[in-house]
Amino acid sequence: MKALKMLLPAAAVLSLAGHVWAAQVTRSQRVRLIEARRSATTDPLTGCANRAGLDRALDDLDGEPYDLVLVDLDRFKPVNDTWGHAAGDRLLVEIARRLRACLDDVDDAVVARIGGDEFVLAAPSSVPLAHYLGAEVITALAAPIEVADGVTVTVTASVGAIHATTGEDRARVMAAADAAAYEAKLRGGDGLVEHNPLSGLPEVEQRPLLRLREMAALTNVLGVTA
């Protein structure tokens, strides 16, 4: 009987230790799950959202009007070619920081990197403010950026802006912003074009689309003229 009494506290200790261990394992698994979800929606270089993160943020805005700005950097490739990919990465990180600063005070806003040198900003807005957000982006990018020791560059961008009203198709909104950015690129870059709501949104096919600027580049390579 005495031996049994001595065993009971030990069993209780083992049980408590088991519960603590199980709680730690559960907590660790939860942390890993959260990290995996964050990694799946985050661009590893800039810390901005990636395409999946942008989709999730726009899902959260579903049913609300919002402003969307597409930023296509001008002449980014020469930075990589001249000073190396490390310089290009440093440039992108600083650009991402400046773009996030444009939306610091806006709840439920998102900055996403959707391509090598392309970013999207989206923010809920009951009134059309996309033009002002686009102008703020151009101003934010105006200051020189140090990409290597003693080397600074000034980056410009072709910016397309659109105010999306409630219920508008997301893919068509993105296509309109992309077309506006491409128009800014055709005008020489370092500028803003806002989508004209009177022209309606472009149709988007279900199959993957060849982007407008890629089509133009292909046309030039093939020597096709309109």
pLDDT band at 28 (very low <50, low <70, confident <90, very high): low
pLDDT band at 63 (very low <50, low <70, confident <90, very high): confident
Is there a catalytic annotation at residue 55?
Answer: no
> What integer is the mean pLDDT of 174-201?
96
Asked which of 14-18, 146-150, 159-163 is least confident by mean pLDDT, the reply is 14-18
pLDDT (tens digit, 9 = 90+) per residue, 151-174? 999 999 999 999 999 989 999 999
Q: What is the pLDDT of residue 15?
A: 72
d(CA 26, CA 43): 27
> What integer is the mean pLDDT of 169-192?
96
Which of 117, 149, 169, 178 is flagged as catalytic? 117
pLDDT (tens digit, 9 = 90+) per residue, 31-53? 454 454 555 999 999 999 999 99
What is the pTM (predicted TM-score) of this model? 0.77
Q: Cα–Cα distances in Å, from 10 out to 2, 4, 6, 184, 207?
A: 13, 10, 7, 75, 66
Q: Which of 137, 134, 139, 187 is nearest to 163 (CA)?
A: 134
Q: What is the pLDDT of residue 3?
A: 53
Whether 101 contacts 140, CB under 8 Å: yes
- Structural domains of the chain, with CATH: 51-217 (3.30.70.270)
Q: Cα–Cα distances in Å, from 40 out to 24, 33, 62, 121?
A: 24, 11, 21, 19
d(CA 40, CA 19): 31
The token pair that represents 136 in the structure block = 């703020």
Q: What is the pLDDT of residue 62?
A: 77
Q: What is the pLDDT of residue 36?
A: 45
pLDDT tops 60 at residue 196? yes
The token pair that represents 100 in the structure block = 């996030």
pLDDT (tens digit, 9 = 90+) per residue, 92-143? 999 999 999 999 999 999 999 999 999 999 999 999 999 999 999 999 999 9
Asked which of 146-150, 158-162, 204-208 is least confident by mean pLDDT, the reply is 204-208
Q: What is the pLDDT of residue 23?
A: 63
The token pair that represents 151 in the structure block = 């080397």
**DSSP characters over 23-91:** HHHHHHHHHHHHHHHHHHTB-TTT-SB-HHHHHHHHHHTTTS-EEEEEEEESS-HHHHHHH-HHHHHHH
In terms of Cβ atoms closer than 10 Å to its own Cβ (0-12, 13-18, 19+), residue 211 is middle
Q: What's the chain's average pLDDT?
A: 85
